[in-house]
Structure 1
Amino acid sequence: MPNAPMVPTVRRRRLGSTLRRFRNEAGLSLDQAARAMGWNGPKLSKIENAVQGLRPGELTALLKNYGVTDPDACAVLETLRTDASKKGWWQAYSGIVQPAYADYISLESDAERVCAWTPLLVPGLLQTPAYARETIAGITTTRTPEEIAALAEVRMARQSVLTRPGNPLELWAIIHEAALHQRFASRPATMREQLRKLLDASELPNVVVQVMPLASTAHPGLEGGFSLTKFSQPLPDVVLLENANSATYVEGEAATPFERAYERIRATALSVEDSLVRIAELEEGLRK
Protein backbone atom coordinates (compact mmCIF):
# COMPACT_ATOMS: atom_id res chain seq x y z
CA MET A 1 0.00 0.00 0.00
CA PRO A 2 1.46 3.45 -0.88
CA ASN A 3 2.26 5.81 1.96
CA ALA A 4 -0.36 8.42 2.79
CA PRO A 5 0.61 11.93 1.69
CA MET A 6 2.24 14.00 4.41
CA VAL A 7 0.00 16.63 5.96
CA PRO A 8 1.56 20.11 5.69
CA THR A 9 1.25 21.13 9.34
CA VAL A 10 1.78 24.73 10.48
CA ARG A 11 5.20 23.85 11.90
CA ARG A 12 6.29 22.11 8.70
CA ARG A 13 5.05 25.03 6.59
CA ARG A 14 6.97 27.53 8.71
CA LEU A 15 10.11 25.40 8.56
CA GLY A 16 9.82 25.11 4.78
CA SER A 17 9.25 28.82 4.24
CA THR A 18 12.19 29.71 6.50
CA LEU A 19 14.47 27.33 4.61
CA ARG A 20 13.35 28.87 1.33
CA ARG A 21 14.18 32.34 2.68
CA PHE A 22 17.64 31.21 3.78
CA ARG A 23 18.26 29.60 0.38
CA ASN A 24 17.30 32.79 -1.42
CA GLU A 25 19.47 34.87 0.91
CA ALA A 26 22.39 32.53 0.10
CA GLY A 27 21.84 33.21 -3.61
CA LEU A 28 21.18 29.57 -4.47
CA SER A 29 18.62 28.26 -6.92
CA LEU A 30 16.50 25.27 -5.99
CA ASP A 31 18.60 22.98 -8.19
CA GLN A 32 21.91 24.32 -6.88
CA ALA A 33 20.88 23.82 -3.26
CA ALA A 34 19.54 20.34 -4.01
CA ARG A 35 22.73 19.26 -5.81
CA ALA A 36 24.83 20.40 -2.85
CA MET A 37 22.83 17.93 -0.76
CA GLY A 38 23.01 15.15 -3.36
CA TRP A 39 19.26 15.48 -3.98
CA ASN A 40 17.13 16.25 -6.97
CA GLY A 41 15.24 19.53 -7.20
CA PRO A 42 11.77 18.07 -6.56
CA LYS A 43 12.81 16.73 -3.13
CA LEU A 44 13.91 20.15 -1.90
CA SER A 45 10.81 21.71 -3.42
CA LYS A 46 8.64 19.29 -1.45
CA ILE A 47 10.50 20.15 1.76
CA GLU A 48 10.06 23.88 1.19
CA ASN A 49 6.37 23.34 0.41
CA ALA A 50 5.83 21.24 3.55
CA VAL A 51 4.89 17.98 1.81
CA GLN A 52 8.08 16.13 2.76
CA GLY A 53 9.93 16.07 6.04
CA LEU A 54 13.63 16.12 6.87
CA ARG A 55 15.59 13.25 8.38
CA PRO A 56 17.92 13.80 11.34
CA GLY A 57 21.09 15.50 10.12
CA GLU A 58 19.62 16.79 6.87
CA LEU A 59 18.50 20.08 8.40
CA THR A 60 21.98 20.69 9.87
CA ALA A 61 23.59 20.08 6.47
CA LEU A 62 21.12 22.37 4.70
CA LEU A 63 21.69 25.21 7.14
CA LYS A 64 25.46 24.83 6.81
CA ASN A 65 25.15 25.08 3.03
CA TYR A 66 23.09 28.25 3.46
CA GLY A 67 25.65 29.80 5.79
CA VAL A 68 23.36 29.71 8.82
CA THR A 69 25.59 29.09 11.84
CA ASP A 70 23.83 30.84 14.74
CA PRO A 71 23.28 28.03 17.28
CA ASP A 72 20.06 29.52 18.65
CA ALA A 73 18.54 29.82 15.19
CA CYS A 74 19.58 26.27 14.34
CA ALA A 75 18.07 25.00 17.60
CA VAL A 76 14.73 26.73 16.89
CA LEU A 77 14.52 25.14 13.45
CA GLU A 78 15.55 21.72 14.77
CA THR A 79 12.70 21.92 17.28
CA LEU A 80 10.30 22.69 14.43
CA ARG A 81 11.64 19.68 12.53
CA THR A 82 11.25 17.25 15.41
CA ASP A 83 7.84 18.61 16.44
CA ALA A 84 6.44 18.92 12.91
CA SER A 85 4.34 15.75 13.09
CA LYS A 86 3.32 15.97 16.74
CA LYS A 87 -0.39 16.15 17.35
CA GLY A 88 -1.65 19.04 19.46
CA TRP A 89 -4.38 18.67 22.08
CA TRP A 90 -6.68 20.77 19.85
CA GLN A 91 -6.79 18.00 17.24
CA ALA A 92 -9.18 16.15 19.52
CA TYR A 93 -11.66 18.90 18.58
CA SER A 94 -11.06 18.63 14.82
CA GLY A 95 -14.76 18.26 14.12
CA ILE A 96 -15.48 21.52 15.94
CA VAL A 97 -12.43 23.72 15.38
CA GLN A 98 -12.07 25.22 11.91
CA PRO A 99 -8.67 24.69 10.19
CA ALA A 100 -7.72 28.38 10.38
CA TYR A 101 -8.43 28.41 14.13
CA ALA A 102 -6.44 25.20 14.61
CA ASP A 103 -3.53 26.79 12.76
CA TYR A 104 -3.63 29.78 15.09
CA ILE A 105 -3.70 27.58 18.21
CA SER A 106 -0.62 25.79 16.88
CA LEU A 107 1.14 29.12 16.30
CA GLU A 108 0.12 30.34 19.74
CA SER A 109 1.49 27.21 21.39
CA ASP A 110 4.93 27.85 19.81
CA ALA A 111 5.00 31.62 20.34
CA GLU A 112 7.10 33.62 22.77
CA ARG A 113 4.78 36.61 22.97
CA VAL A 114 1.34 37.75 21.87
CA CYS A 115 0.36 41.42 21.61
CA ALA A 116 -3.41 41.61 21.28
CA TRP A 117 -5.64 44.59 20.49
CA THR A 118 -9.28 43.65 21.08
CA PRO A 119 -11.82 46.45 20.64
CA LEU A 120 -14.95 44.31 21.05
CA LEU A 121 -14.18 41.35 23.31
CA VAL A 122 -11.89 40.26 26.12
CA PRO A 123 -9.05 38.21 24.54
CA GLY A 124 -9.65 34.47 24.55
CA LEU A 125 -6.53 33.85 26.67
CA LEU A 126 -8.12 35.90 29.47
CA GLN A 127 -11.74 34.80 29.30
CA THR A 128 -13.70 32.98 32.00
CA PRO A 129 -15.66 29.85 31.04
CA ALA A 130 -18.99 31.65 31.44
CA TYR A 131 -17.88 34.65 29.36
CA ALA A 132 -16.56 32.33 26.64
CA ARG A 133 -19.82 30.39 26.46
CA GLU A 134 -21.97 33.53 26.40
CA THR A 135 -19.94 35.32 23.73
CA ILE A 136 -19.60 32.26 21.49
CA ALA A 137 -23.36 31.64 21.77
CA GLY A 138 -24.06 35.27 20.98
CA ILE A 139 -21.78 35.42 17.96
CA THR A 140 -22.56 32.10 16.29
CA THR A 141 -25.56 31.55 14.05
CA THR A 142 -25.02 27.86 13.26
CA ARG A 143 -23.49 26.11 16.29
CA THR A 144 -25.39 23.69 18.50
CA PRO A 145 -25.26 24.02 22.31
CA GLU A 146 -22.88 21.05 22.40
CA GLU A 147 -20.55 22.71 19.89
CA ILE A 148 -20.64 25.97 21.82
CA ALA A 149 -19.65 24.13 24.99
CA ALA A 150 -16.80 22.40 23.13
CA LEU A 151 -15.51 25.68 21.70
CA ALA A 152 -15.55 27.19 25.18
CA GLU A 153 -13.49 24.20 26.38
CA VAL A 154 -10.97 24.86 23.62
CA ARG A 155 -10.71 28.50 24.65
CA MET A 156 -10.03 27.49 28.25
CA ALA A 157 -7.43 24.90 27.20
CA ARG A 158 -5.57 27.54 25.18
CA GLN A 159 -4.90 29.45 28.39
CA SER A 160 -2.43 26.83 29.59
CA VAL A 161 0.29 28.60 27.55
CA LEU A 162 0.25 31.39 30.15
CA THR A 163 1.40 29.02 32.91
CA ARG A 164 3.45 26.44 31.01
CA PRO A 165 6.63 25.52 32.91
CA GLY A 166 9.87 27.20 31.97
CA ASN A 167 8.71 29.49 29.17
CA PRO A 168 5.18 30.81 29.71
CA LEU A 169 3.75 32.86 26.89
CA GLU A 170 4.10 36.61 27.40
CA LEU A 171 0.77 38.36 26.79
CA TRP A 172 0.21 42.09 26.38
CA ALA A 173 -3.50 42.73 25.94
CA ILE A 174 -5.11 46.09 25.15
CA ILE A 175 -8.89 45.97 25.53
CA HIS A 176 -11.29 48.74 24.61
CA GLU A 177 -13.30 49.89 27.61
CA ALA A 178 -16.52 49.39 25.66
CA ALA A 179 -15.89 45.63 25.77
CA LEU A 180 -15.83 45.82 29.57
CA HIS A 181 -19.34 47.26 29.69
CA GLN A 182 -20.87 44.17 28.07
CA ARG A 183 -23.84 42.75 29.94
CA PHE A 184 -25.36 39.25 29.90
CA ALA A 185 -29.04 39.16 30.79
CA SER A 186 -29.16 35.39 31.29
CA ARG A 187 -26.34 35.50 33.84
CA PRO A 188 -25.66 38.97 35.27
CA ALA A 189 -22.62 37.85 37.29
CA THR A 190 -20.70 36.91 34.11
CA MET A 191 -19.14 40.32 33.49
CA ARG A 192 -18.21 40.89 37.13
CA GLU A 193 -16.42 37.52 37.20
CA GLN A 194 -14.70 38.39 33.93
CA LEU A 195 -13.42 41.69 35.30
CA ARG A 196 -12.10 39.89 38.38
CA LYS A 197 -10.35 37.40 36.06
CA LEU A 198 -8.57 40.28 34.32
CA LEU A 199 -7.35 41.64 37.64
CA ASP A 200 -6.18 38.21 38.78
CA ALA A 201 -4.43 37.46 35.47
CA SER A 202 -2.62 40.79 35.67
CA GLU A 203 -0.80 39.52 38.74
CA LEU A 204 1.06 37.01 36.57
CA PRO A 205 4.53 38.37 35.72
CA ASN A 206 4.05 37.51 32.03
CA VAL A 207 0.65 39.19 31.58
CA VAL A 208 0.01 42.91 31.05
CA VAL A 209 -3.46 44.39 30.55
CA GLN A 210 -4.24 47.90 29.34
CA VAL A 211 -7.61 49.57 28.77
CA MET A 212 -8.37 51.89 25.89
CA PRO A 213 -10.67 54.51 27.45
CA LEU A 214 -13.98 55.50 25.94
CA ALA A 215 -12.67 59.07 25.63
CA SER A 216 -9.45 58.15 23.82
CA THR A 217 -8.01 60.11 20.94
CA ALA A 218 -7.85 58.59 17.45
CA HIS A 219 -5.37 55.74 16.95
CA PRO A 220 -4.57 53.00 14.39
CA GLY A 221 -6.70 50.46 16.25
CA LEU A 222 -9.84 52.15 14.96
CA GLU A 223 -9.44 50.05 11.82
CA GLY A 224 -10.05 46.84 13.78
CA GLY A 225 -8.56 44.31 16.14
CA PHE A 226 -5.53 42.11 15.56
CA SER A 227 -3.08 39.87 17.37
CA LEU A 228 0.66 40.13 16.78
CA THR A 229 2.27 36.76 17.55
CA LYS A 230 6.04 36.82 18.04
CA PHE A 231 8.52 33.92 17.86
CA SER A 232 12.16 33.15 18.51
CA GLN A 233 14.43 34.12 15.63
CA PRO A 234 14.70 33.20 12.82
CA LEU A 235 10.96 32.53 12.62
CA PRO A 236 8.91 35.46 11.30
CA ASP A 237 6.21 37.13 13.37
CA VAL A 238 2.58 36.49 12.42
CA VAL A 239 -0.41 38.83 12.58
CA LEU A 240 -3.94 37.42 12.88
CA LEU A 241 -6.80 39.48 11.43
CA GLU A 242 -10.17 38.00 12.29
CA ASN A 243 -13.78 38.65 11.33
CA ALA A 244 -17.06 36.77 11.56
CA ASN A 245 -16.42 34.69 8.45
CA SER A 246 -12.67 34.15 8.18
CA ALA A 247 -9.18 34.61 9.57
CA THR A 248 -6.32 36.16 7.63
CA TYR A 249 -2.63 35.84 8.45
CA VAL A 250 0.24 38.10 7.44
CA GLU A 251 3.85 37.46 8.39
CA GLY A 252 7.40 38.63 8.06
CA GLU A 253 7.87 42.12 6.65
CA ALA A 254 4.13 42.45 6.15
CA ALA A 255 3.75 42.34 9.96
CA THR A 256 5.95 45.41 10.51
CA PRO A 257 3.16 48.01 10.06
CA PHE A 258 1.15 46.21 12.73
CA GLU A 259 4.07 46.43 15.16
CA ARG A 260 4.18 50.19 14.64
CA ALA A 261 0.40 50.41 14.97
CA TYR A 262 0.48 48.44 18.21
CA GLU A 263 3.02 50.83 19.73
CA ARG A 264 0.73 53.77 18.96
CA ILE A 265 -2.30 51.94 20.35
CA ARG A 266 -0.35 51.14 23.52
CA ALA A 267 0.70 54.79 23.90
CA THR A 268 -2.93 55.96 23.50
CA ALA A 269 -4.38 53.53 26.08
CA LEU A 270 -4.46 54.14 29.82
CA SER A 271 -1.24 53.29 31.65
CA VAL A 272 -1.06 49.79 33.10
CA GLU A 273 -1.67 51.14 36.62
CA ASP A 274 -4.62 53.31 35.58
CA SER A 275 -6.03 50.43 33.54
CA LEU A 276 -6.16 48.16 36.58
CA VAL A 277 -7.80 50.92 38.60
CA ARG A 278 -10.46 51.32 35.90
CA ILE A 279 -11.12 47.56 35.74
CA ALA A 280 -11.43 47.46 39.54
CA GLU A 281 -13.89 50.37 39.46
CA LEU A 282 -16.04 48.61 36.89
CA GLU A 283 -15.92 45.37 38.87
CA GLU A 284 -16.89 47.19 42.07
CA GLY A 285 -19.76 48.91 40.29
CA LEU A 286 -21.25 45.54 39.36
CA ARG A 287 -21.28 44.49 43.00
CA LYS A 288 -23.84 47.15 43.90
Structure 2
Amino acid sequence: MTTNGPGPTTIRRRIRLLLRQLRADRGHSQEDVCRVMAWSQSKMARIERGTTNIPVRDLRDLLEFYEIDDADEVRRLLDLAKLARRPHWAGAYRDSVPAPYMDFLGYEDDALRISQYHPFVIPGLLQTEQYARLLVAVGPRRRDGDDEAEARVRLRLARQRRVFAQPPRPGRVRIVLDERALTVVESDQVKLDQIEMILSRLPDIDFALLRRDTATDSVLVGPFSLHEFGSEADPDVVYVASQPEDVALIEDPEVVAGYKRAFDDLYHQAASGDEARHILDTIATSLRGTSA
Protein backbone atom coordinates (compact mmCIF):
# COMPACT_ATOMS: atom_id res chain seq x y z
CA MET A 1 0.00 0.00 0.00
CA THR A 2 1.02 3.64 -0.25
CA THR A 3 3.54 4.93 2.24
CA ASN A 4 0.89 7.09 3.91
CA GLY A 5 -1.44 4.15 4.48
CA PRO A 6 -4.52 3.14 2.51
CA GLY A 7 -6.37 5.79 0.54
CA PRO A 8 -10.02 6.82 0.82
CA THR A 9 -11.30 4.21 -1.64
CA THR A 10 -9.83 1.29 0.30
CA ILE A 11 -10.90 2.76 3.63
CA ARG A 12 -14.46 3.27 2.41
CA ARG A 13 -14.55 -0.39 1.41
CA ARG A 14 -13.25 -1.45 4.83
CA ILE A 15 -16.06 0.48 6.47
CA ARG A 16 -18.79 -0.96 4.27
CA LEU A 17 -17.54 -4.52 4.72
CA LEU A 18 -17.35 -4.05 8.49
CA LEU A 19 -20.82 -2.55 8.69
CA ARG A 20 -22.35 -5.31 6.61
CA GLN A 21 -20.66 -7.92 8.80
CA LEU A 22 -21.80 -6.21 12.01
CA ARG A 23 -25.39 -6.10 10.77
CA ALA A 24 -25.29 -9.75 9.74
CA ASP A 25 -23.71 -10.82 13.04
CA ARG A 26 -26.54 -9.16 14.94
CA GLY A 27 -29.24 -10.64 12.75
CA HIS A 28 -30.60 -7.35 11.45
CA SER A 29 -31.96 -6.71 7.99
CA GLN A 30 -31.42 -3.45 6.14
CA GLU A 31 -35.10 -2.72 6.81
CA ASP A 32 -34.50 -3.09 10.57
CA VAL A 33 -31.70 -0.54 10.44
CA CYS A 34 -33.70 1.90 8.32
CA ARG A 35 -36.63 1.72 10.75
CA VAL A 36 -34.52 2.37 13.85
CA MET A 37 -32.22 4.97 12.26
CA ALA A 38 -35.03 6.68 10.31
CA TRP A 39 -33.04 6.25 7.10
CA SER A 40 -34.32 5.66 3.60
CA GLN A 41 -33.62 2.30 2.01
CA SER A 42 -31.57 4.04 -0.68
CA LYS A 43 -29.33 5.67 1.92
CA MET A 44 -28.73 2.34 3.64
CA ALA A 45 -27.97 0.67 0.31
CA ARG A 46 -25.48 3.39 -0.69
CA ILE A 47 -23.64 3.07 2.63
CA GLU A 48 -23.36 -0.72 2.39
CA ARG A 49 -22.33 -0.53 -1.28
CA GLY A 50 -19.71 2.07 -0.45
CA THR A 51 -20.99 4.54 -3.04
CA THR A 52 -21.28 7.22 -0.37
CA ASN A 53 -19.37 8.07 2.78
CA ILE A 54 -21.25 7.58 6.03
CA PRO A 55 -21.25 10.76 8.15
CA VAL A 56 -19.37 10.39 11.43
CA ARG A 57 -22.50 11.17 13.46
CA ASP A 58 -24.52 8.52 11.59
CA LEU A 59 -21.74 6.00 12.10
CA ARG A 60 -21.65 6.71 15.83
CA ASP A 61 -25.42 6.16 16.08
CA LEU A 62 -25.22 2.99 14.00
CA LEU A 63 -22.46 1.53 16.17
CA GLU A 64 -24.58 2.26 19.22
CA PHE A 65 -27.50 0.41 17.64
CA TYR A 66 -25.18 -2.52 16.91
CA GLU A 67 -24.12 -2.40 20.58
CA ILE A 68 -20.44 -1.80 19.89
CA ASP A 69 -19.36 -0.60 23.34
CA ASP A 70 -15.60 -1.07 23.02
CA ALA A 71 -14.35 2.54 23.13
CA ASP A 72 -11.16 1.76 21.20
CA GLU A 73 -13.09 -0.02 18.45
CA VAL A 74 -15.59 2.83 18.18
CA ARG A 75 -12.78 5.36 18.00
CA ARG A 76 -10.99 3.33 15.33
CA LEU A 77 -14.08 3.16 13.13
CA LEU A 78 -14.86 6.85 13.58
CA ASP A 79 -11.28 7.69 12.61
CA LEU A 80 -11.66 5.53 9.50
CA ALA A 81 -14.84 7.41 8.56
CA LYS A 82 -12.93 10.68 8.75
CA LEU A 83 -10.07 9.32 6.63
CA ALA A 84 -12.53 8.05 4.02
CA ARG A 85 -13.57 11.65 3.36
CA ARG A 86 -10.11 12.65 2.13
CA PRO A 87 -10.14 13.85 -1.48
CA HIS A 88 -9.34 11.37 -4.25
CA TRP A 89 -6.06 12.22 -6.00
CA ALA A 90 -7.88 12.12 -9.35
CA GLY A 91 -10.86 14.14 -8.12
CA ALA A 92 -10.35 16.79 -10.80
CA TYR A 93 -11.20 14.16 -13.44
CA ARG A 94 -14.30 12.82 -11.69
CA ASP A 95 -16.71 14.24 -14.27
CA SER A 96 -14.73 12.77 -17.19
CA VAL A 97 -14.78 9.06 -16.27
CA PRO A 98 -17.32 6.63 -14.77
CA ALA A 99 -17.44 6.43 -10.96
CA PRO A 100 -16.25 2.76 -10.90
CA TYR A 101 -13.06 3.83 -12.64
CA MET A 102 -12.29 6.28 -9.84
CA ASP A 103 -12.53 3.40 -7.35
CA PHE A 104 -10.35 1.30 -9.68
CA LEU A 105 -7.63 3.97 -9.42
CA GLY A 106 -7.95 4.00 -5.64
CA TYR A 107 -7.55 0.25 -5.35
CA GLU A 108 -4.64 0.35 -7.78
CA ASP A 109 -2.87 2.82 -5.47
CA ASP A 110 -3.20 0.56 -2.44
CA ALA A 111 -2.69 -2.88 -3.95
CA LEU A 112 0.41 -4.81 -2.93
CA ARG A 113 0.34 -6.44 -6.36
CA ILE A 114 -1.33 -5.44 -9.64
CA SER A 115 -1.79 -8.14 -12.28
CA GLN A 116 -3.23 -7.10 -15.64
CA TYR A 117 -4.05 -8.99 -18.80
CA HIS A 118 -5.19 -7.55 -22.10
CA PRO A 119 -5.70 -9.40 -25.37
CA PHE A 120 -6.70 -6.45 -27.58
CA VAL A 121 -4.93 -3.19 -26.71
CA ILE A 122 -1.98 -1.92 -24.69
CA PRO A 123 -2.99 -1.46 -21.00
CA GLY A 124 -3.25 2.11 -19.77
CA LEU A 125 -0.15 1.83 -17.56
CA LEU A 126 1.99 1.25 -20.67
CA GLN A 127 0.36 3.53 -23.23
CA THR A 128 2.16 6.38 -24.95
CA GLU A 129 0.32 9.68 -25.09
CA GLN A 130 -0.26 9.28 -28.82
CA TYR A 131 -1.63 5.76 -28.39
CA ALA A 132 -3.90 6.95 -25.57
CA ARG A 133 -5.24 9.76 -27.75
CA LEU A 134 -5.96 7.28 -30.52
CA LEU A 135 -7.94 5.02 -28.18
CA VAL A 136 -9.93 7.94 -26.82
CA ALA A 137 -10.65 9.16 -30.35
CA VAL A 138 -12.13 5.84 -31.50
CA GLY A 139 -13.76 4.77 -28.22
CA PRO A 140 -17.50 4.91 -27.46
CA ARG A 141 -17.05 8.09 -25.39
CA ARG A 142 -15.57 10.04 -28.30
CA ARG A 143 -18.72 12.17 -28.59
CA ASP A 144 -18.22 13.64 -25.12
CA GLY A 145 -16.25 16.54 -26.60
CA ASP A 146 -12.63 17.55 -26.94
CA ASP A 147 -12.28 18.74 -23.34
CA GLU A 148 -13.52 15.44 -21.92
CA ALA A 149 -11.30 13.46 -24.27
CA GLU A 150 -8.27 15.54 -23.30
CA ALA A 151 -9.07 15.03 -19.61
CA ARG A 152 -9.12 11.25 -20.05
CA VAL A 153 -5.72 11.31 -21.76
CA ARG A 154 -4.26 13.52 -19.02
CA LEU A 155 -5.68 11.20 -16.37
CA ARG A 156 -4.09 8.17 -18.01
CA LEU A 157 -0.69 9.85 -18.05
CA ALA A 158 -1.11 11.05 -14.47
CA ARG A 159 -1.95 7.48 -13.45
CA GLN A 160 1.29 6.23 -15.02
CA ARG A 161 3.35 8.87 -13.24
CA ARG A 162 1.73 7.94 -9.95
CA VAL A 163 2.35 4.20 -10.27
CA PHE A 164 5.90 4.63 -11.56
CA ALA A 165 6.90 7.67 -9.47
CA GLN A 166 9.35 5.42 -7.67
CA PRO A 167 10.75 2.09 -8.81
CA PRO A 168 8.00 -0.40 -7.93
CA ARG A 169 8.72 -3.29 -5.64
CA PRO A 170 9.85 -6.33 -7.65
CA GLY A 171 6.80 -8.12 -8.99
CA ARG A 172 4.30 -5.46 -7.83
CA VAL A 173 3.15 -4.75 -11.39
CA ARG A 174 2.65 -7.83 -13.56
CA ILE A 175 1.31 -7.49 -17.10
CA VAL A 176 0.49 -10.20 -19.60
CA LEU A 177 -0.12 -8.89 -23.09
CA ASP A 178 -1.24 -10.73 -26.19
CA GLU A 179 1.23 -10.15 -29.03
CA ARG A 180 -1.65 -9.23 -31.32
CA ALA A 181 -2.29 -6.12 -29.21
CA LEU A 182 1.06 -4.71 -30.35
CA THR A 183 0.00 -4.33 -33.97
CA VAL A 184 -3.68 -3.35 -33.95
CA VAL A 185 -3.06 0.31 -34.81
CA GLU A 186 -2.38 1.30 -38.42
CA SER A 187 0.52 3.72 -37.97
CA ASP A 188 3.93 2.05 -37.88
CA GLN A 189 5.33 5.04 -35.98
CA VAL A 190 2.67 4.75 -33.27
CA LYS A 191 3.36 1.02 -32.99
CA LEU A 192 7.12 1.63 -32.78
CA ASP A 193 6.79 4.35 -30.15
CA GLN A 194 4.49 2.10 -28.16
CA ILE A 195 6.87 -0.86 -28.20
CA GLU A 196 9.77 1.38 -27.21
CA MET A 197 7.63 2.66 -24.32
CA ILE A 198 7.09 -0.92 -23.12
CA LEU A 199 10.80 -1.66 -23.45
CA SER A 200 11.60 1.37 -21.30
CA ARG A 201 9.27 0.07 -18.56
CA LEU A 202 10.63 -3.47 -18.41
CA PRO A 203 12.93 -2.74 -15.45
CA ASP A 204 9.88 -1.63 -13.44
CA ILE A 205 7.39 -4.41 -14.27
CA ASP A 206 7.09 -8.16 -14.62
CA PHE A 207 6.10 -8.36 -18.28
CA ALA A 208 5.05 -11.40 -20.29
CA LEU A 209 3.99 -11.66 -23.92
CA LEU A 210 1.64 -14.29 -25.31
CA ARG A 211 2.90 -15.35 -28.74
CA ARG A 212 0.41 -15.56 -31.59
CA ASP A 213 0.99 -19.28 -31.95
CA THR A 214 0.28 -20.00 -28.27
CA ALA A 215 -2.52 -17.49 -27.61
CA THR A 216 -5.30 -19.03 -29.66
CA ASP A 217 -7.80 -19.17 -26.78
CA SER A 218 -6.49 -16.35 -24.61
CA VAL A 219 -8.76 -13.69 -26.11
CA LEU A 220 -11.72 -15.60 -24.71
CA VAL A 221 -10.65 -14.61 -21.19
CA GLY A 222 -11.11 -10.89 -21.82
CA PRO A 223 -9.15 -8.01 -20.25
CA PHE A 224 -8.97 -7.78 -16.47
CA SER A 225 -6.97 -6.29 -13.62
CA LEU A 226 -6.39 -8.19 -10.37
CA HIS A 227 -5.60 -6.13 -7.27
CA GLU A 228 -4.15 -8.07 -4.33
CA PHE A 229 -3.80 -6.46 -0.90
CA GLY A 230 -2.36 -9.16 1.35
CA SER A 231 -4.72 -8.29 4.19
CA GLU A 232 -7.84 -9.88 5.63
CA ALA A 233 -9.23 -6.36 6.11
CA ASP A 234 -8.88 -5.70 2.38
CA PRO A 235 -9.96 -8.70 0.27
CA ASP A 236 -8.56 -8.97 -3.24
CA VAL A 237 -10.64 -7.63 -6.12
CA VAL A 238 -10.83 -7.97 -9.89
CA TYR A 239 -11.88 -5.37 -12.41
CA VAL A 240 -13.02 -6.49 -15.83
CA ALA A 241 -12.86 -3.96 -18.63
CA SER A 242 -14.53 -3.35 -21.97
CA GLN A 243 -12.92 0.06 -22.53
CA PRO A 244 -10.05 1.58 -20.55
CA GLU A 245 -12.42 3.53 -18.28
CA ASP A 246 -15.41 1.16 -18.45
CA VAL A 247 -14.76 -1.27 -15.62
CA ALA A 248 -16.84 -3.53 -13.40
CA LEU A 249 -15.83 -4.66 -9.91
CA ILE A 250 -15.79 -8.31 -8.88
CA GLU A 251 -15.42 -9.13 -5.18
CA ASP A 252 -16.78 -12.68 -4.89
CA PRO A 253 -13.81 -14.63 -3.44
CA GLU A 254 -14.40 -17.71 -5.59
CA VAL A 255 -14.60 -15.66 -8.79
CA VAL A 256 -11.53 -13.63 -7.82
CA ALA A 257 -9.68 -16.91 -7.18
CA GLY A 258 -10.69 -18.04 -10.67
CA TYR A 259 -9.15 -14.93 -12.19
CA LYS A 260 -5.96 -15.54 -10.19
CA ARG A 261 -5.73 -19.00 -11.72
CA ALA A 262 -6.46 -17.57 -15.17
CA PHE A 263 -3.68 -15.01 -14.83
CA ASP A 264 -1.19 -17.64 -13.67
CA ASP A 265 -2.14 -19.87 -16.62
CA LEU A 266 -1.72 -16.99 -19.08
CA TYR A 267 1.60 -15.98 -17.55
CA HIS A 268 3.02 -19.49 -17.74
CA GLN A 269 2.00 -19.75 -21.41
CA ALA A 270 3.72 -16.47 -22.22
CA ALA A 271 7.27 -15.43 -22.97
CA SER A 272 8.82 -13.40 -20.16
CA GLY A 273 12.18 -11.92 -19.16
CA ASP A 274 14.85 -11.89 -21.88
CA GLU A 275 12.61 -13.85 -24.26
CA ALA A 276 9.87 -11.19 -24.10
CA ARG A 277 12.44 -8.43 -24.54
CA HIS A 278 13.87 -10.20 -27.60
CA ILE A 279 10.42 -10.42 -29.20
CA LEU A 280 9.79 -6.73 -28.59
CA ASP A 281 13.23 -5.80 -29.94
CA THR A 282 12.63 -7.87 -33.07
CA ILE A 283 9.28 -6.21 -33.78
CA ALA A 284 10.74 -2.76 -33.06
CA THR A 285 13.66 -3.40 -35.46
CA SER A 286 11.23 -4.39 -38.18
CA LEU A 287 9.14 -1.27 -37.62
CA ARG A 288 12.22 0.98 -37.68
CA GLY A 289 13.04 -0.41 -41.09
CA THR A 290 9.49 0.22 -42.29
CA SER A 291 9.49 3.77 -40.92
CA ALA A 292 12.83 4.50 -42.54
TM-score (norm 1): 0.75
Spell out structure 1 runs of 4+ moving beyond 3 A: 9-13, 20-25, 27-31, 40-43, 45-51, 77-83, 164-169, 217-221
Contact 1:11 1:83 in 2 (8 A): no
Please state how far the C-alpha of 1:267 moved relative to its aligned partner. Answer: 1.0
Q: Work out whether residues 219 and 264 of structure 1, in 8 Å CA contact, stay in contact via their aligned partners in 2.
A: no
2-structure distance, mates of 1:14, 1:262? 24
Which deviates more from structure 2 when the two are superposed, residues 130-139 or residues 157-166? Answer: 157-166
1:36 corresponds to which residue? Answer: none
Q: In the TM superposition, what is the alpha-carbon distance from 1:97 to its structure 2 partner?
A: 1.6
Percent of pairs identical after alignment?
A: 23
C-alpha separation in 2, matches of 1:136 and 1:160 = 19
Q: Distance in 2 between matches of 1:66 and 1:240?
A: 37
- Aligned equivalents of 1:283 and 1:211: distance in 2? 14
Aligned match of 2:176 in 145, 153, 174? 174
Kept in 2: contact 1:115–1:228 (CA 8 A) = yes
One-letter amino acid of the structure 1 residue matched with residue 194 of structure 2: Q
CA RMSD of aligned residues (A): 3.8
Aligned equivalent of 1:183: 185
The AA in structure 1 aligned to 2:238 is V
Match for residue 225 of structure 1? Answer: 223
In structure 1, the gaps of 5 or more residues are 1-8, 32-39, 70-74
- Quote the Cα distance in structure 2 between the aligned partners of 1:119 and 1:21: 36
2:199 matched to 1:199? Answer: yes
Residue 237 of structure 1 corresponds to 236
What amino acid sits opposite 1:130 in the alignment? Q
Task: Show structure 2 runs of 5+ residues with no match.
Answer: 1-7, 30-35
2:194 and 2:56 map into 1 onto residues whose CA distance is 45
1:139-288 paired onto structure 2 within 5 Å: 139-140=139-140, 141-164=142-165, 170-185=172-187, 188-204=188-204, 207-216=205-214, 222-233=220-231, 234-244=233-243, 246-253=246-253, 254-288=255-289
Residue 266 of structure 1 aligns with an amino acid whose one-letter code is: Y
Shift of 1:108: 1.6
The equivalent residue for 2:107 is: 107
**RCO comparison, higher one (Cα < 8 Å, 6+):** 2
Q: 1:241 touches 1:247 (CA, 8 Å); kept in 2?
A: yes
CA distance in 2, matches of 1:170, 1:145: 34
Structure 1 position 235, deviation (Å): 0.5
Residues 276 and 24 of structure 1, relative CA distance in 2, 3 Å threshold? farther
Letter in 1 for 2:207: V
Task: Show CA shifts across 1:72-96 (max 9, x none).
Answer: xxx9x89854531111232212231
